Amino acid sequence: MSATSAATVPAGAPAARRPDAFAVRFARNRGAVAGALVLLLVALVAASADWLYPVNPLRIVGAPEIWPFESWRYPLGTDSMGRDIAALIAHGARATLLIGLVAAATATLIGVTVGAAAAWAGGWVDEALMRLTELFQIIPNVVFVLTVVSVLGPRIENITLAVGLVSWPPIARLTRAEFLSFKEREFVQACRAVGMSPWRIAAAEVLPNALPPVIVMSSLVVAGAILYESVVSFLGLGDPNIASWGRLVGEGRSLIRSSWYICAVPGVAIMLTVLSLNLVGDGLNDALNPKLQKR
């Protein structure tokens, strides 16, 4: 009964409702396609890290501060302790993507639940949940993440949890706005008329229609989560047992005048990954937003 599933989509249905149309609109955004290719490359590097560099990336393997391309064994050089930067980048890509995706999934789950419950229940429930959302928004995000990690310990699970806890308020507010816009639509009224329970209508009919903008927001949360993890690791609170782009930048900052590449290489990796996620988010917005289908 939903706006997108009330009937089988015929051949002449609007392009916005067909998967092939989504792919066409996404492909029109060249920046989004370029971002998707960069993300695919990062994912491939992360997936093949154990094959490319089977040795522990935190292990000292050579002389310190070998510059990139100075030795074929270390194409990206070594850091101040003699660790292979290429191995650190490859294994760090896995941790970076894992933290970003899991934190975004956590934030999306919390945000959608809070936003949907607030809009659908209304009254004091809406008021209480929105005040809770505002409480999380007024707390400086970086300070909150650092506090949680300091209390729980510098482990990758705690970093992911902390990032997820600070990233859900925008998703909650967006979900609430979407649910409120659909709450009095004709298809919702029809569902009520045939006797469907309110929460079944919310879960089966309204939620699928409210998800497209949430998906776009979630892609941006992944980018934010990567930046938060980089900040935490840069300040020395990251998990010491895993390779991290942010910690590599932090460890190389004292040598930035003599061996600037130690900061530059992971810094470029962070920049390209976050930029690609933002470009993909723009492409998803163009492809999923029906108001932009004729743009």
The CATH number for 244's domain is 1.10.3720.10
Of 171, 159, 151, 164, the C-alpha closest to 229 is 159
Rounded to 5 degrees, what are φ and ψ at 60?
Answer: -75, 125
Q: How many domains does the chain have?
A: 1
Residue 267 lies in a domain: yes
Q: Would you say 221 and 74 are in contact if contact means Cβ atoms under 8 Å apart?
A: no
Specify the pLDDT at position 196. 80
Task: Provide mean pLDDT across the span 166-177.
Answer: 91
Of 25, 92, 84, the C-alpha closest to 55 is 84
Residue 70 lies in a domain: no
Residue 244 lies in a domain: yes
C-alpha to C-alpha distance for 18 and 157, rounded to whole angstroms:
38
Residue 283 has pLDDT above 70, yes or no: yes
pTM for the predicted model, two decimal places? 0.81
Residue 200 lies in a domain: yes
Residue 30 lies in a domain: no
Q: 256 lies in which domain range?
A: 93-286
Q: Label residues 238-277 b or e (16+ Cβ within 10 Å = b).
A: bbeebbbbbbbbbbbeebeeebebbbebbbebbeebbebb
pLDDT digits (tens, 9 = 90+) for 62-99: 888 889 988 888 899 998 888 999 999 999 999 889 98
Residue 34 lies in a domain: no
pLDDT digits (tens, 9 = 90+) for 20-50: 677 788 888 888 899 999 999 999 999 999 8
Specify the pLDDT at position 240. 84
C-alpha to C-alpha distance for 136 and 113, rounded to whole angstroms:
15
Q: What is the 3-state secondary structure (H, E, C) of the chain?
A: CCCCCCCCCCCCCCHHHCHHHHHHHHHHCHHHHHHHHHHHHHHHHHHCHHHHCCCCCCCCCCCCCCCCCCECCECCCECCCCCEHHHHHHHHHHHHHHHHHHHHHHHHHHHHHHHHHHHHHCHHHHHHHHHHHHHHHHCCHHHHHHHHHHHHCCCHHHHHHHHHHHHHHHHHHHHHHHHHHHHCCHHHHHHHHCCCCHHHHHHHHHHHHHHHHHHHHHHHHHHHHHHHHHHHHHCCCCCCCCCCHHHHHHHHHHHCCCCCHHHHHHHHHHHHHHHHHHHHHHHHHHHHCHHHCCC
Residue 9 lies in a domain: no
How far is residue 37 CA from its own chain's centroid?
16
List the beta bridge partners of residue 166. Answer: none
List the beta bridge partners of residue 74. Answer: 71
Task: Provide mean pLDDT across the span 238-243.
Answer: 85
Residue 241 lies in a domain: yes
